[in-house]
Amino acid sequence: MGSDTFQLASAGDALITRKLVDQGDEDLDAVLDRIRASDTGVVNLEMLLHDYEGYPASNDVARFSGTYLRAPPWVLDELTEAGFDLFAAASNHTGDYSHGGMLATMRELEDRNVAYSGLGNSLAAAREPAYVDTQGGRVALISACSTVTPGTEAGEQRPSMQGRPGLAPLRLDTRYVLSVNQLEQLREISDQLGLEQMKRERKESGLPAAYDGEDDIFHLLHVSEGHDYSLEFEAGDEPHVYQEPRTEDVRALLTAIQRAPAG
């Protein structure tokens, strides 16, 4: 049974590379005391924890800041001593050191019996809640990341194939809205560049294409990413850009939230 009150301390990105505890800083100590006095402390682990075990990823994976974020594993000891016991481990830096960096980070968390979510050896594991038991009751944490860099999302495990380490994704599909006249001009430019011919050839060959069956959406091929990758445009009153979370990711996260109380 939980108590009548519950206090949660939460922090944003943990980008810690130096000691926190017992540094003789009264202001810092006052903050840490508040965290420790709470029933549970939640923090976003915005870095990997390893001694350079993973290979640095290519720039298309570490594209958001051009930096490779890692810290020595003892940083985790500093954070737990500071009062944090629930860690969100899905971020746009999850893949900075490829899968070796992910595996090393999970090893450090698990060796210390620290509760974390958003990162796992398979997609199902990455989406699982992490739990801590407190005087105020059991707390579950589900984590996901919407800035998903290529190849950092965890892979689905199947009977014939093992899963892939990675994060729990909340992918965003982007649409670009243009006026009817602007959209027609874009179609003409695409045709002049030979992109429409490439689309027709792919369709005639029987190869799968993401742009099949969407008459209201115009797909502008992004050739450097492959002939099946495109930017999506549609007609509207005013030019703008919007993003929508991918239905399958939202559904999976909602399912995890609904199941969490039974954990």
Measuring CA to CA, which residue among 2, 7, 11, 35 is closest to residue 21? 35
Q: What is the pLDDT of residue 64?
A: 59
- Partners of residue 96 on adjacent β-strands: none
Q: Among 15, 6, 141, which Cα is nearest to 86's?
A: 141
Residue 115 to residue 117: CA distance in whole angstroms: 7
* Residue-level pLDDT at 213: 63
Exposure string of 141-173, with b = 16+ CB inside 10 Å and e = fewer, is bbbbbebbbeebbbbeeeeeeebbbbbbbbbee
Sequence-ordered list of residues with C-beta below 8 angstroms from that of 32, at least 6 positions apart, any chain:
20, 21, 82, 83
- What is the model's pLDDT at position 222? 86
Q: Give pLDDT tens digits along the chain (263 positions).
A: 456 889 999 999 999 988 988 888 899 999 999 999 999 999 999 999 999 988 898 877 666 556 789 999 999 999 999 999 999 999 999 999 999 999 999 999 999 999 999 999 999 999 999 999 998 889 999 999 998 888 899 999 988 999 999 999 999 999 999 999 999 999 999 999 999 998 888 888 887 776 666 678 999 998 877 667 889 999 999 999 999 999 999 999 999 999 998 77
Domain ranges of the chain: 8-168+248-262, 172-245
pLDDT of residue 199: 87
pLDDT for the residue numbered 62: 64
Report the pLDDT value the prediction gives residue 67, as an integer from 0 to 100.
Answer: 79
Residues counted in the chain: 263
The DSSP secondary-structure symbol of 59 reads T
CA distance 171 to 184: 29
Beta bridge partners of 262: none
What secondary structure does DSSP assign to 158-225, as a single string?
Answer: BTTB--B-EEPB--EEEEEEE-HHHHHHHHHHHHHTTHHHHHHHHHHHT---TTTT-TTSEEEE-GGG
Task: Give the single-character DSSP code of 153.
Answer: B
